[in-house]
Structure formats: structure tokens, C-alpha cells
Structure 1
């Protein structure tokens, strides 16, 4: 089918209105963020995989979440950087769909992981006596299968079937003529994506953490009546819940504007400026950049593991049993 592309410049890239200085600054800034995203999350992956002391159900969930952030930095952010700086998509329509499918899958996978971590913390703090029987390695494997398979099936199915664009007037012309890798969600799929992939799991997480902190307050009041060893374990679990609650809060803060815009855009006749949507997408991406920094700030064991990695000590197999916790943290 031949389309009149005169309105879109015959599919060629529009002249870039950014000066060389601005483009250079953007490349340097975003490349720095990509570097932190890739190597920060790679350090987390190596730490949890290598050190036996870190092999726990909670940490396996964090490991999988770090893999999600690593993949976003490695396979999504570099191409998005070129598109954002050059105001053009150079990689063809097929790779545009693959890129967007992975992008969508990884963002939904992240929030599903955060939900799983919230469930893990819920059992650890609210039902500590049942935790070891509920959060077994096989239970974690089932959670991880769910976290990866459902978003993957949804993202690739919706994008490659182009169901998301049904009923959008002129979308075929836009795809054939535009040079920007356009993806626009209609009202049905925009609402489905945002409700099932973001707002519902967000509400579940907020509810779970609300319950966790209510129980934590109750524990704090009863702290003097609890045996010392149980008391120290509860403090450790609460600290982990607090840290992961911060990770969850930061995720919601970074991704809410983007998902909210996807939800509203079809009802506003797709009038959201592309530069705004691009900026909100990057705001979401930077969540994957900040996650290893949050871990580094709140987890002394991660800082210690990172030191061993940078010193090359992990090449000695006996370091797998190294103690990463100080006496204070163990208590």
C-alpha cells in the first residue's frame, strides 16, 4: 500500500534542532546513566550469585530484579538515547517493535518483582513462624516464572499483533511514514496496560507495605517482651522491609508519570507532545540507574561485596564463603 508521506517528510529524519553542544551534553549525561545502570546492576547480580551468605529467597528476588534493570540498561537505553538525542529512529520498524516489546516487558516485570518482594517481606514480618515454609526456593521459582512470563507474553503479543493501535485513525500512515518509532495505545489497551501492569500491582504493594509497617509498630511496642535472638531477627527483617519499601516508592515515583500519560493520551486525542513523553520515559528508565545506588547506600553488605569484586578477590573460590555482615548487622 502506497501512502502519501509528504506530511511526514517521506519517512526521512527531520532536521535536528539541537546544537552540537546540547547533543554532546545529552550523550555524555545519558551514557553516564547507562554505565551506572549496567555496571551497578551487574555488581548486584555477581554479588548475590557468588557469595553464599547472600543466597536467600529475598535476595534471589532482588537478583532477578537486578537482571531486569541490567537488561534495560544494556538492551533498551542505548537505542533510546540515540532516538532522543538525534530525534530519529535509525533501526527500522521491526527492531522498533522488538525494542518496544522488551521495553514494555521489562517495566512490567520490574513492578511484578516488587510485588513479589512485598509478599516475601509480608510473610517475614507478619507471619515469621510460617516464613520458611511459605517462601521456599520452589515458591520463589514459581513467583519468578510468573514475573517474567506474563509481562513477556502480554508485551510481545500486544505489540506484534498491533492490537494496541486498533481504531487509531491514520496510524498505518504514521508507521509507514514516520521516522520516530511511533507506538500509540488506544483507549482499551492503554487502560488495560496501565490498570493491570501498573496501578493494580501498585495498589497491592502499597496495601502490603501498609500492613507491614502497622505490624512493625505493634512489634516495637512489644519489643521488651521478646527474646533477644528473636528481637534481633525482627530488627533485621524490618530494616530489609524499609529498604525495599524505599525501592518500591522510588519505582512508583519514576514510572507513575509515564504510565499515567499512556492512560490519558488516547482520551486527549494523542495530543501529548513527543518531547514530553520521551522525557517521562527517561524518568522511568532512571529508576533502573538509581536502584543499585539505593542498595549501595542502605546495604553495607553490597558495598563490601562490591569492594571484593573490584579487588578481584572473587576469582578465589574460597571467597564464596566470606562474611559480608558486620557484628552490628548480624544482630
Structure 2
């Protein structure tokens, strides 16, 4: 368990750190979309660096060694960073929606100031929700015997009542998930429409290459979107659904099962750099430059995109 969890933590930390360094260093990557990816990488990096190691010790040892106060701090940051990561995924979906569906208006709609406001929401709302709910102990209001459970338990228990379990499921998963699904379905339909328009053009030598390129891009977009939504739903749905139904089942979910589902959610932050980083050619090129030419000067202006893009 220690080896497998350490491997996940290692990928989460260094995968997101590579994205942070690449986007921060290369001027060509300073775009609104990449700033969203950069902020999400910071979120996932902090989750891997500050939260997952303590959760690993608790999961393996079945005991919390760090005190009740740090338990609340840990869980507040845990909840905040997880929801913040999900909000970033939703923001990236909105950004892609305007880029693909309204390309002529994209530069005027998605500006740096708009990105700053989106990032402010992505960070402030989860922070206010997590720290407010956990430190006020509103999540435990009405749960019979909760104080005795906390006093007698050594595993840092945080159990949501019916009200706050529903609120967390709705705000942290259901609404962002529905927004992402709706946006990506719209993007997929628009991509299919563009492909049909390209195929309807007269077949000649000049159009043969664009048609083939459109088909390849369409397949690539469908594959990428299916991976994004599949990983998001697989990782987060079991955890949030358990938080929702557990109060209605009289908190009968085994602690080990809930812990495993939490790690399934963490795994989304491990996969994010693979999806939004390693799938992009510019990231692989940036990583090669960083590893191979880090001691050379002025290579931060290196072109990472083909000349025809």
C-alpha cells in the first residue's frame, strides 16, 4: 500500500510540477487557456504535496497521529483542493466551449481579466465552503453521538449530515459535472458539424488534405473528450455519491471503503497532468528543453509550436 500510494503521490507532484514549470517559463505558453491549466496544476500539486502523504499514513496505519486540530486543517484543505480542482476542470470546459463554438469571439470573450475572475471563483468559493463548514462543524449538526465518535476515534472522522452531504454533492460534483457534460456534448456536436461541412465541399486535390485533417481532428477530439469525462466520472462519482447517501443509510459505509473512494478521487489529480499535459505536443517539447537545456540562457523564447500553427 505504501509503495502504490507513494507512486501515485510521486506522479501527482512531479507531473503537475512539470506543467507549472513549463507554462511559467516559456513565454509562448502564456495564454488564457494555459493559465487555467497552470492554476489547476498548482491545485493538484498542493493536493499531492500537502494532503496525500498524511492521508497515506492514515489509510495504511488506520490511525490519525497528528491531533484533532490538524485533522480539521487537513480535511479543510483536502476538501478545498479537491473541489477547486473540479472547478478548474469546469472552467477549462467553458474556455474550450468558446474557443471551438465561437472562435471569432473567443479573443474578446476570454481575456486575461476574465481568466483572473474565473480563477478567483475557483479558489475562493471552495475555500470559503470547506473551512466554513469544517471549522463550524455544521457538517455534523444533528448527527447523534458524533462527539463521542470523535472523542473515541483515532482515525480523524469527518461525517457529513444529510443537509451538507447533499450540498457538497450538488455544488462539488453534480453542477460542475452537468456543466462539463453539456459543454463537451455541444463541442462534440459542433465538431461533427464542421466535419460534415468539410466533407460536403467538392472533392479535389486542394480539399483532400483539409478533409483528412478534419477527420483526424474529429477523432482526436472525441477521444480526448471521452478520456476527460470518463476519468472525471470514474474518479469522483463514487466518492461524492457515498457522501450523499451515507447519512440516509445511518452512516453504515465501512471506513475502509470510504477511504478507498477518497483515494479514487485523489487519483483524478494524478491523471490531470497526463490528460492536460502529456497529451499536448508542446508540453513534451517543453519538457525536453527543460531537461536537456536548463543551463542555457534565453531558451524560454523557444518556439514550441510548428510554424504553420
TM-score (norm 2): 0.91
Distance 2:178 2:141 in 1: 29
Alpha carbon RMSD of aligned pairs, Å? 2.5
* 1:233 to partner: Cα distance: 10
Instruction: Tell me the equivalent position of 1:262.
Output: 243
* 1:211 to partner: Cα distance: 0.7
- Deviation per residue, 1:163-215 (Å, 9 max, x gap): 00000001011112210000000000000010111111101110111111111
Instruction: Tell me the equivalent position of 1:275.
Output: 256
Q: How many residues align?
A: 303
Q: Describe how 1:134-283 pairs up with structure 2 within 5 A.
A: 134-223=109-198, 243=224, 246-283=227-264
SS of 1:36's partner is: helix
- Deviation per residue, 1:128-169 (Å, 9 max, x gap): 111000000000000000000000000000000000000000
Distance 1:74 1:295 in 2: 19
Distance 1:105 1:207 in 2: 24
Distance 1:127 1:295 in 2: 22
Aligned with residue 287 of structure 2, among 296, 303, 306: 306
* 1:314 to partner: Cα distance: 3.5
The answer as to whether partners of 1:314 and 1:320 remain within 8 angstroms in 2 is no
Distance 1:254 1:27 in 2: 20
Distance 1:133 1:238 in 2: 29
Instruction: Tell me the equivalent position of 1:12.
Output: none
Distance 1:29 1:294 in 2: 20
The answer as to whether partners of 1:194 and 1:263 remain within 8 angstroms in 2 is yes
- The answer to which of 233-242 and 316-325 deviates more is 233-242
TM-score (norm 1): 0.85
The answer as to whether partners of 2:33 and 2:92 remain within 8 angstroms in 1 is yes
Task: Note if 1:131 corresponds to 2:106.
Answer: yes
Instruction: Tell me the equivalent position of 1:85.
Output: 60
Distance 1:296 1:134 in 2: 24
SS of 1:222's partner is: helix
